[in-house]
């Protein structure tokens, strides 16, 4: 369980202060599928970055199970991130001079208990593309490689910032089906930032942000599968 209490984040650029997060209070239960919605600049990425230790809070506490993340040193946070957290971004961040299999291997090498690469390749539907290079793949295929890479180290929680932002509907739904499977079959906690309100139909919990605050938290009584969500 992730517990966020009184979290504030202020960016200082020269004389200018930007309040990116204001008094955030939030609990993310293990095994839930969480969607974060909100207009551009509302603080979604900042929230994800402070939860995952990619950025520091200005004040407040974040705990993950028994670990108080906001008390960890940068070195301890790096180790925690390596052992527990997976990331998927709009940009796939694949290494262009490595094959599909080698890109996934990079994630596996970070872990003491990696998932088998053959199984991951099969899960993301890229077994026959294992020896291809990123430039030989479509955007959707590249995103599936980046998902396999983030899963290969067997993270507890997967953070996704606009994972379908560069993809068309068909490819997006394939990616979302993967995230759904990850959540349902592997019991991973999945947190997805998106501008696409349709994706919120898949969520257990939907968080709406505006101007650095959580303005609404709703729980879906029934979830739709990735295949059945409305698109737009």
Ligand X SMILES: Nc1ncnc2c1ncn2[C@@H]1O[C@H](COP(=O)(O)OP(=O)(O)OP(=O)(O)O)[C@@H](O)[C@H]1O
Measured CA to CA, the distance from residue 97 to residue 95 in angstroms comes to: 6
Q: Can residue 15 be called a binding residue for ligand X (CB under 6 A)?
A: no
* Chosen residue from 4, 26, 37, 38 binding ligand X by CB under 6 A: 38
- Sequence-distant (6+) residues with CB within 8 A of 90 are 161, 162, 163, 165, 166
Q: Is 163 in the site for ligand X (CB under 6 A)?
A: no
- If the CB atoms of residues 43 and 86 are measured against Mg ion, the closer one turns out to be 43
Indicate the residue among 19 and 98 with the shorter CB distance to Mg ion: 19
Question: Which element (helix H / strand E) includes 152?
Answer: helix 139-152
> Which of Mg ion, ligand X, none does residue 38 bind to, with CB < 5 to 8 Å depending on kind?
ligand X
> Is residue 191 within a helix (H) or strand (E), and if so which, with residue range?
strand 189-193
Q: State yes or no: residue 42 binds ligand X (CB under 6 A).
A: yes
Question: Cβ atoms within 10 A of the Cβ of 34, count?
Answer: 23
Structure tokens at 125: 């539907």
Does the footprint of ligand X cover residue 171 (CB under 6 A)?
no
Stretches 33-41, 60-68, 80-88, 97-105: which one binds ligand X (CB under 6 A)?
A: 33-41
Write the CB contacts of 96 (distance below 8 Å, at least 6 apart in sequence): 133, 134, 135
42 binds, among ligand X, Mg ion, none (CB under 5 to 8 A by kind): ligand X
Q: How far is the CB of 194 from ligand X (least distance, A)?
A: 9
Q: Is the Cβ–Cβ distance between 143 and 89 less than 8 Å?
A: no
Stretch that binds Mg ion, among 15-23, 37-45, 103-111, 145-153 (CB under 5 A): 37-45
User: Is residue 45 a contact residue for Mg ion (CB under 5 A)?
Assistant: yes
Q: How far apart are CA 130 and CA 148, in angstroms?
A: 12
Residues lying near ligand X in the complex (CB under 6 A) are found at: 11, 13, 18, 20, 38, 40-46
């Amino acid at each position: 369980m992730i517990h966020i209490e009184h979290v504030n984040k202020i960016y200082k650029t020269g004389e200018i202060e930007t309040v990116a997060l204001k008094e955030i209070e939030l609990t993310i239960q293990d095994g839930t599928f969480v969607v974060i919605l909100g207009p551009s600049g509302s603080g979604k990425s900042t929230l994800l970055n402070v939860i995952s230790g990619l950025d520091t809070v200005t004040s407040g506490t974040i705990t993950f199970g028994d670990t108080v993340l906001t008390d960890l040193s940068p070195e301890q946070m790096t180790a925690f991130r390596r052992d527990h957290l997976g990331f998927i971004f709009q940009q796939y961040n694949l290494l262009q001079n490595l094959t599909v299999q080698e890109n996934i291997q990079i994630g596996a090498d970070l872990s003491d208990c990696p998932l088998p690469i053959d199984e991951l390749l099969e899960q993301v539907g890229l077994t026959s593309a294992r020896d291809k290079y990123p430039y030989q793949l479509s955007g959707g295929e590249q995103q599936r490689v980046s998902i396999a890479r983030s899963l290969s180290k067997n993270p507890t929680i997967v953070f996704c910032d606009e994972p379908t932002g560069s993809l068309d509907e068909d490819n997006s739904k394939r990616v979302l089906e993967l995230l759904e499977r990850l959540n349902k079959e592997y019991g991973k906690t999945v947190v997805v930032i998106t501008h696409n309100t349709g994706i919120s139909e898949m969520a257990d919990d939907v968080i709406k942000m505006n101007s650095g605050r959580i303005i609404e938290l709703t729980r879906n009584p029934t979830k739709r599968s990735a295949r059945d969500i409305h698109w737009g």
